[in-house]
Amino acid sequence: MTHPKTQTAQCGITLVELMIAMVIGLLLAAGISQVFVSSQQTYRITEEQSRLQENARFALEFITKDVREAGYTGCRAIEEMNVQTVANAPVPNYTEDTTINGNEATSPTAWSPALNASINGTVIGGTDTITIQKGTSCGATLTGSLASSNANIQVSSPNSCNLAAGDVLMLSDCQDAHIFRATTVSSGTPQTITHSASSNTGTHFCINQTGIGTGSCGTANAKLYGADSELLKFSSLTYYIRQGAGGRNALWVFDNTELASAQNPMELIEGVEDMQVTYGVDTTGDDIVDAYQTANTINTATNWVNVISAEISLLVETQDDNLTTDNLTYTYNGVTVTSADNRLRRVFTTVIGIRNRVQ
C-alpha cells in the first residue's frame, strides 16, 4: 500500500501564468500576421512591376517593328518608285509623305494635324498618335501567267502571306508598285489572286513577261509586271491611346485599310496611360538627325519625307491600385504630376530608325 504522502501532487496554472501565455501567443500571432501581410504586399508590388515592364516591352515591340519597316516596298525606297493605289476606299494613298506621320496633341481636346475621322472622339486628350505604312514581304514571288497578259496574279506557294480574299496587297517590281484589294484567292499551288473592279478603281495593271507595255487585260498603257515582281501585304496602321475594356487607358491600333468594326480598332496593351512622339528630321540629306520635332511642326514647316527616326515615349501604369502608401510624383513630357491614386508608373522611351530612309 502506497503511503498518501508519496503520491504525486496535481497542480494547475495560475491566472497570471495563463494571461502571460496568452499575451505571448498574441504577440507571436501579430508578428506572423505582419510578416504575412508584408510578404503579400511585396509579392503584389513585384508582380505588378513585372506586368508593367512586360506591357511596356510588348507595346514598344509592336510599334518599333512597324516604324523600322515604314516605307518598305520590296527592294527600293518609295521615294524612287511610282506607287499607285487602285483599291477602293478606305485604303489610303501610299506616298513618301504618308510612310510615317502622326498627330500632335496641342491641347487636351485638339490635335495637329487633325485626327482621322475613324478614331476622332476616342483618342485620350493630350496623347499623340503615330501612323505607319509599309509592305511586308512574305515569299510570294510572281510565277505566272507570264506567257501572255493576264489580269490574274499567280504567286509561289507555300508562302507566309496567309493570303485571303479582301486582303490589301502590293505588287512591286522595284520600279513601280500597285496597291489593290484581292477579290478571290485560290488555295492551290501556285496561288491565284484576282482583283476585280468591284473592290478596285479598275484593272490598271497586268502580268506579262515583257514588262512595261500596252496590255490587253485592262486600260491602255497598263503596267505589265514580269517574273521579277513580288507580292507583299500592305498595311497602314495608326497607334493611339484610348480607354480600354478595363476602364483604364490602353494602347490601341486602327487598320486604315478597313472600315471601323467590332474587330477594328483593336486593343493591344492595357495600362499604357500616355504616348508622346517626336520625329528625327534630316534637313541636310546626310542621313543624320538635325532636330527632333513634333508632328504639328513637321506638318507646317518641313516635309514628312525628311523624317528618318521616331522617338516613342510611353507612360505605363500598374493595373492594381493601393500599391503605395503615398501618391507618387513623377515627371512625364516635361510636366511634374502627383498621381491621384496609389498605382506605380514608369516611363519607357526608345528611338527607332526608319531603315528604308537611312543608308
Cell of 136: 511586308
CA pair distance 301, 291, nearest whole angstrom: 12
Q: Which of 161, 164, 171 is nearest to 138 (CA)?
A: 161
CA pair distance 321, 326, nearest whole angstrom: 11
Q: Cell 508593367, residue?
A: 52
Q: For 60-89, what is the mean pLDDT?
A: 92
Q: Which of 68, 118, 109 is nearest to 91 (CA)?
A: 118
CA pair distance 229, 176, nearest whole angstrom: 10
CA pair distance 323, 343, nearest whole angstrom: 6
For residue 187, what pLDDT is reported?
A: 87
Under DSSP, the state recorded for 22 is: H
Radius of gyration over every alpha carbon of the chain, rounded to an integer in angstroms: 31
At residue 72, the 3 state secondary structure works out as coil
Element (H, E) at 266: strand 266-270
Q: Cell 491565284, residue?
A: 192
> Amino acid identity, residue 194?
T
Better-predicted residue by pLDDT, 219 or 204:
204
Q: Are 172 and 226 in contact (CB under 8 A)?
A: no
Largest CA distance in the chain: 133
Torsion of CA 17, 23, 25, 31, to 10 degrees: -150
Element (H, E) at 193: strand 191-194
Alpha helix (H) ranges present in 171-276?
none
For residue 219, what pLDDT is reported?
A: 55
Of 16-20, 92-96, 125-129, 270-274, least confident by mean pLDDT is 16-20
Cell of 311: 522617338
Q: For 259-286, what is the mean pLDDT?
A: 95
Q: How far apart are the first and last CA of the chain?
A: 112
Q: What percent of the chain lies above the pLDDT cut of 90?
A: 60
Q: How many residues does the chain have?
A: 359
> Amino acid identity, residue 336?
T
Question: Is 60 exceeded by the pLDDT of residue 269?
Answer: yes
Could you tell me where the beta strands, DSSP code E, fall in 89-175? 100-107, 110-112, 129-144, 153-155, 168-172
Strand partners, 105: 111
For residue 213, what pLDDT is reported?
A: 41
Please state whether 222 falls in left (phi above 0), alpha (psi between -120 and 50) or beta.
beta
pLDDT digits (tens, 9 = 90+) for 226-255: 888 899 999 999 999 999 999 999 999 999
Q: Are 331 and 67 in contact (CB under 8 A)?
A: no
Of 65-69, 136-140, 239-243, least confident by mean pLDDT is 136-140
At residue 261, the 3 state secondary structure works out as coil
Q: Is the dihedral of CA 218, 222, 225, 231 positive or negative?
A: negative
CA pair distance 32, 38, nearest whole angstrom: 10
Of 63-72, 192-201, 232-241, 260-269, least confident by mean pLDDT is 192-201
Tabulate helix, strand, coil % of the chain (nearest 5): 20, 35, 45
Q: Are 208 and 225 in contact (CB under 8 A)?
A: yes
Q: Are 103 and 268 in contact (CB under 8 A)?
A: no
Q: Which of 326, 276, 279 is nearest to 303 (CA)?
A: 279
Better-predicted residue by pLDDT, 79 or 91:
91
